[in-house]
Structure 1
Amino acid sequence: MARLATAWAIFQGLLLESLPFLLLGVTIAALARWLVPQAAWVRRLPRHPLLAPVVGALLGFALPACECGNVPVARRLLASGAPLGTGFGFLFAAPVLNPIVLASTWAAFPDQPWLLFARPLGAFVIAIALSALLGLMGERALLEPALLEERRLTQPLAEVGLLERGSGVLGAAPISISPRPSSQSISLSDVLLHSGREFLGLLVLLVLGCALAAAVQSWLPRAWLLAVGSAPTLSVLALMLLALVVSVCSSVDAFLALGFAAQVTPGALLAFLLLGPVVDLKLAGLFTVLLRPKAIAVTALAALLLVLLIGQWVNLVQL
């Protein structure tokens, strides 16, 4: 019973912490869908494989949402026809590059200014690397089917043919939704209806992710993770596993890390702050509205490897 009570308390904390940011992300996506014509900003986004994720990552400075709130915004970017690099650059980097997270990192570690530079720089590198890797897979193998169809409805015929606007199979039933002209605004009632459905769908996935994270936290002791804190490699691996398990929001994870910062290596501390905003148990369900299972697995494995390499490099430099 004690563990169940602990799991319930952790679940409530994770959900209450994440819910406002999820609502904020859906609201931002809804406002973008209603107020800004798609052609007005999508055509101005760079298509260059390097510039696209850079622009997407820099958007994080203007949108103070954690990783949960970034999912609906990234989905709206991709559904509106934005370059893949822009959508993924925003998805992976914005949870660290937004002002709230930068301020909380500085407030938690004022005596370690290197973290204020290393954390956003590391997030930037990870976002560009993951965007480039996922871009190699192609949209059909990468994007979740419903998102892929919605994205193809916004593409000009010069890029996506009529047959590709459906399921891509000859003889498939045509989609009942017709693409709107870029100059035609969408009614507020349509936006509210669409956003309400999107929020409820994401909320279900968020609840499942929080429940999974709470269960794992309650039955997985943290003491043994921190027991290897002084080992250069094992400390990085242990704190990466801890980041996956605790699934804490990026806006407050620096204060959680402050509690064990003195017991672990610098590389392990940075690894904890880098991995959580990109991959954790809470995000596992939310990513299913963006990516196919294979793409989620590739993202997780690549992020783990990148963070491990960055943590190891920091330990070599700092120790």
Structure 2
Amino acid sequence: MARIATIWAIFQGLLIEALPFLFIGVLIAGLARWIAPGGRWLQRLPDQPILAPLSGAALGFALPACECGNVPVARRLLAGGASMGSALGFLFAAPVLNPIVLASTWAAFPDQPWLLAARPLGALLVAVVLSGVLQRLPEGQLLERSLLAERRLSQPLAEASLLERKSGVLGIPTPPRADPSRPSLRTVLEHSSREFLNLAVLLILGSLIAATVQTLLPRSWLLAVGGAPTLSILSLMLMAVVISVCSSVDAFLALGFAAQITPGALLAFLVLGPVVDLKLLGLFGVIMRPKAIAITAIGASVVVLLLGQWVNLWLL
């Protein structure tokens, strides 16, 4: 019974922490759909391998949402025809670059200026690498089916054929997309409500899994190797995935054990968690297919491990 009570307490904490940011993300996506239904400004975002993810990451400075709230916004970017690189850059880097997270990192570690610079730079590096790797997959293998259909409807004919758009003589006729009318506020609210409920269900499942694993895998086991250069990084990466704490407060959590671990392990915890954790894996399902999610998890882990190793060589 004690373990069940612990799981329930952790589950409630994760859910209460994440739901407001999920609501903010859905609200932002809904407003974008209502204010700019055609998404033409999204199609003007750069498409270069480096500049695209950096421009997407820069959007995070204006959006006060953590990784859960960024999922519906990133989905809206992709559905509206934004370049793949900019949308992925936003998805992976914005959870660290938003003002709340930057302020919380500074408040938790004011005496470690290297960390205040290394965390956002590490997030940008992960975003650029993941964007480049994932874009090697065809969109049909990368994006979830319904999102892919929405995206193709918003692309010019030069980029998506009539058959791909499911229009013309071989498919189902659809209204012209060149100058879409603004949907009614009621339509936007209904769409956003459905999206929020669907994402909330996934968030609940992810939080329950994270709470269960976190209870069965005590943190003391992971902190036991805190002084080992490589094992400390691996253990804190695993902790970041398991704990699944929101990026807006993870710095204060890390402050509690920062003295017991290596600098590279601390950075690994703060960079990997906002990209890959147990509660996020379900939410990613509304954007990416399982193969792409697996590539994201593996790619982010490799980059963060190398980054942590480099920091340990530099500071130890």
**Fold shared per TM-score above 0.5:** yes
2:254 is aligned to 257
Q: What are the within-5 Å matches in structure 2 for residues 101-140 of structure 1?
A: 101-140=101-140
Distance in 2, Cα, partners of 1:190 & 1:283: 28
Query: Which letter maps to 1:260?
Result: F
Does the 8 Å CA contact 2:29/2:76 hold for their aligned counterparts?
yes
1:172 is displaced (CA, Å) by: 11
Does the 8 Å CA contact 1:26/1:73 hold for their aligned counterparts?
yes
Distance in 1, Cα, partners of 2:210 & 2:234: 18
Shift in CA distance, 172/197, structure 1 to aligned 2, threshold 3 Å:
farther
Output the aligned Cα RMSD: 1.6
Distance in 1, Cα, partners of 2:128 & 2:279: 22
Query: Which letter maps to 1:281?
Result: L
1:93 is aligned to 93
2:150 is aligned to 150
Please list every run of 5 or more consecutive structure 1 residues that lacks an aligned counterpart in the other structure: none
Shift in CA distance, 176/195, structure 1 to aligned 2, threshold 3 Å:
farther
Distance in 2, Cα, partners of 1:102 & 1:76: 24
1:190 is aligned to 187
1:184 is displaced (CA, Å) by: 2.0
Does the 8 Å CA contact 2:258/2:266 hold for their aligned counterparts?
yes
Distance in 1, Cα, partners of 2:145 & 2:175: 17
2:69 is aligned to 69
Does the 8 Å CA contact 2:237/2:268 hold for their aligned counterparts?
yes
1:97 is displaced (CA, Å) by: 0.3
Query: Which letter maps to 2:308?
Result: G
Superposed CA offset, 1:136-177 (max 9, x none): 11201100001000100111112211101139xxx9994575
Superposed CA offset, 1:83-121 (max 9, x none): 000110000000000010000000000111111100000
Quote the sequence identity (%).
70
Distance in 2, Cα, partners of 1:247 & 1:176: 44
Could you state the TM-score of these two structures normalised by the residue count of structure 2?
0.97
Distance in 2, Cα, partners of 1:295 & 1:195: 25
Please list every run of 5 or more consecutive structure 2 residues that lacks an aligned counterpart in the other structure: none
Shift in CA distance, 262/20, structure 1 to aligned 2, threshold 3 Å:
same
Query: Which letter maps to 1:33?
Result: R
1:179 is displaced (CA, Å) by: 4.8
Could you state the TM-score of these two structures normalised by the residue count of structure 1?
0.96
Shift in CA distance, 260/293, structure 1 to aligned 2, threshold 3 Å:
same
Superposed CA offset, 1:225-269 (max 9, x none): 101000000000000000000000000000000000000000000
Query: Which letter maps to 2:185?
Result: L
Give the one of 237, 241, 244 matched to 2:241: 244
1:284 is displaced (CA, Å) by: 0.7
1:51 is displaced (CA, Å) by: 1.2
Kindly indicate whether residue 295 of structure 2 is the aligned counterpart of residue 298 of structure 1.
Answer: yes
Shift in CA distance, 13/282, structure 1 to aligned 2, threshold 3 Å:
same
Distance in 1, Cα, partners of 2:232 & 2:309: 10
Distance in 1, Cα, partners of 2:3 & 2:186: 45
2:21 is aligned to 21
SS in structure 1 of the partner of residue 11 of structure 2? helix
Q: Which moved more, 1:38-47 or 1:185-194?
A: 38-47
Distance in 1, Cα, partners of 2:74 & 2:191: 16
Distance in 2, Cα, partners of 1:266 & 1:4: 34
1:40 is displaced (CA, Å) by: 3.7
1:185 is displaced (CA, Å) by: 1.4
What is the aligned residue count? 316
SS in structure 2 of the partner of residue 56 of structure 1? helix
